[in-house]
Amino acid sequence: MAAYFLDSSALIKRYVQERGTAWIRASIDPAAGHQIFAARLALVEVAATLARQARAGNLTAAEAALGTTISVIPSPMSSASSKSLRSWPVTLNHIQTHALRGSDALHLAAAIELQRRRTAVGLASLTLISADAELNQAARAEALLVEDPNDRP
């Protein structure tokens, strides 16, 4: 079982068909048994993106509403079922040395904190999944494992 931390650019692929959608859907499918994490910010960003896509006529209102149904389990360290997305509150105790946009810096800080906590209790490393090249570069510099869904069919 893998542990994945998805930023908004990866999570949106669950709802909008684009390169990497099939891989994301398979990876976060509860049947795959992986642990899925995201910063709470991602939930807001996905809902906003879906609403914007619906207003532009790229999605139906029903398709856009799917993003508001993401379930959240408050503690990513629990042994709760992996059937729901787990959200980790972001703390900004990290001094970011990377030239990232604000939201990307928050995603990175949350992933670093979660990785630190997992390591402290002997859990396997998590993998950050992001379609954002700058975030991926910063995550690699912080010694996080990284997957870009755009590299997948």
What residue numbers bound the domain in which 15 lies?
Answer: 3-151
- Write out pLDDT tens, residues 125-150: 999 999 999 999 999 999 999 999 99
Q: Find the CATH number of the domain harbouring 10.
A: 3.40.50.1010
Adjacent-strand bridge partners of 95? none
Angle formed by the axes of helices 133-141 and 102-120, nearest 10° = 40
- Domain count across the chain: 1
Mean pLDDT (10-residue bins), the chain, 153 residues:
93 91 93 89 87 86 72 42 54 61 87 92 95 94 96 90
